Structure 1
Amino acid sequence: MPDDLPDVESQTIIAVQAERVNNGKNHDFVRFYISCRALDASLELKVTCSHWSVENLLYWMLGIVFDEDRQKNRVGYAGENLGVIRLWILNILKRNTVRSLSMARKRKLCCLNDDY
C-alpha cells in the first residue's frame, strides 16, 4: 500500500499490477482503485475494465476529433480551459443524431453553419 494514499472511508482497495514491454524494455507499475462499496473479485475486474474503456473512448474521441495531442496551450490555465470547452463541444456534437456523420464531419459542418 503506498504511503501517500489519502485516508478515506473505503470498503475496497484494488491494486492492479501490470507490466508493459516497450522497445524491448520492461516497465512494471501498479494502479490503485478505491471504492466505497464492498466488491468481490469478479466485480472488481468489471469495475476496473469499464473504467478504462470509458477513459479510453473519451480521450480517443478528443484526440481524433480535436487533434488534442498536438495542442500547444501551456500558458496558465489555457490547456485546462480549452479541454473543458472541447468536452462541451463534443457533448453537443454527440446530441446531434439527425445526420449520420462522423464527429470530425459534424465539427466541420458546425464551423460552416452559425445555426448549428
Structure 2
Amino acid sequence: MGKITCTSHYYLTSYAGTAAELGRWVRGHWGIENGLHWVLDVVFREDRSRIREESAGANLAMVRRVAVSLLRRAPGKGSGLTKRLKAGWDDDYMLQVLQGITAPVVR
C-alpha cells in the first residue's frame, strides 16, 4: 500500500497540439469507451455472454449497442437497467423506446 507506479504510453498521431492537450483527448476518449463497456456489462451482462457461433457474438453486440442508445433516449427517469426491465414488462413502454429509432437521412 502507498506504492507509486508510473507507466509510459506511446501514440502515433499527426496531432500538432501539446502533450497535455493530447492527454486530455485520449482520457476523454477512453472515458466514453469505458462508460459504454460498463453499461453493456451492467445492463446487458455482456461479459457473461457465451455466444460463440460464427458471427452471432458480433451481431448480438451490435444489437446491444443499439439498445443502449435507444434506452438512453427513452422517456422517463431511472437507470438503463431499470428502463430495460420496464421495457420487458410493459409493452407500451417498449413501443416508446422503439420510437427512438429514426429513419436514416439520405443526402
Counterpart of 2:71? 93
Bigger RCO (CA 8 Å, 6+ sep) = 2
Paired-residue identity, %: 32
Q: What is the rounded CA distance, in whole Å, between the counterparts of 1:77 and 1:31 in structure 2? A: 33
Counterparts of residues 18-97 of structure 1 (less than 5 Å): 18=7, 31-96=9-74
The one-letter amino acid of 2:66's match is: W
CA displacement at 1:31 relative to structure 2:
4.7
Q: More helix by proportion, 1 or 2?
A: 2
In structure 2, the CA distance between the partners of 1:79 and 1:105, relative to structure 1 (3 Å rule), is same
Q: More strand by proportion, 1 or 2?
A: 1
Unaligned runs of at least 5 residues, structure 2: 1-5, 95-107
Deviation track 1:40-77 (CA, whole Å, cap 9, x = no partner) reads 11111101111211111010000000011000011101
In structure 2, the CA distance between the partners of 1:43 and 1:61, relative to structure 1 (3 Å rule), is same
In structure 2, the CA distance between the partners of 1:42 and 1:61, relative to structure 1 (3 Å rule), is same
Asked if 1:107 corresponds to 2:93, the answer is: no
Q: What is the rounded CA distance, in whole Å, between the counterparts of 2:11 and 2:62 in structure 1? A: 25
Unaligned runs of at least 5 residues, structure 1: 1-16, 19-29
Q: Would you say how many aligned residue pairs link Structure 1 and Structure 2?
A: 88
TM-score of the aligned structures, taking structure 2 as reference length: 0.73
